[in-house]
Amino acid sequence: MKKILIICTGNSCRSQMAEGWMKYFFKNEAEVYSGGVEKHGVNPTAVKVMAEVGVDISSNTSDLVYDFLGIDFDFVLTVCENAKENCPVFPNRAQKVHKSFEDPAKAKGTEEEILDKFRHIRDEIKKFCVDFSTNNLE
C-alpha cells in the first residue's frame, strides 16, 4: 500500500483538502496523511466546501509534519511554496512532488466571495489529485 504525505504551511486548508481528495481517489490503495510546518487547526470553511462535494474532512486533525518523520513514504507532496522551502528532509525513497496553490484562508471579501475562493481552490486541488492518482495508481 502506498504512503502519501501532503504538506502545507499550517495543515489547515490546502493540505486538508488534498488529503480528503487523495483518500477519496485512492480509496484503500494508499495511506494518506497531511501535516504542516506549523499547526493552525482545520479551517471550518475548508470542511464546509469539501462537504458540498461529498468529501468529509470534519474529523481530520491539524498535525505537524515532524510527527511523520519515521514513516517511509512513497510520495511527499508540497502544496505551497512555504512548505516546499521549509519541509524537513525525508531520508527515504519518497518521490517529492510540488504543486503550489493559493491560500484560500487569505481570501478577502463577502462571505460568498470567500466561499467562492475556497471552492475554486478546492476544485484546483481536485484536478491535481485526479491527475496524481491517475498517474500513480498501479
Q: Which of 103, 113, 114 is nearest to 40 (CA)?
A: 103
CB 38 within 8 A of CB 12: no
Residue 31 predicted with pLDDT over 70: yes
Here the cell at position 101 is 496553490
Q: Which residues are known catalytic residues?
A: 8, 80, 87
Here the cell at position 86 is 521549509
Domain extent for 75: 2-136
pLDDT digits (tens, 9 = 90+) for 64-108: 998 998 889 999 999 987 766 766 666 568 888 999 999 999 999
Output the domain CATH number for residue 66.
Answer: 3.40.50.2300
Prediction pTM value: 0.93
Provide the number of structural domains found in the chain.
Answer: 1
Task: Provide the 3-class DSSP secondary structure of residue 57.
Answer: coil
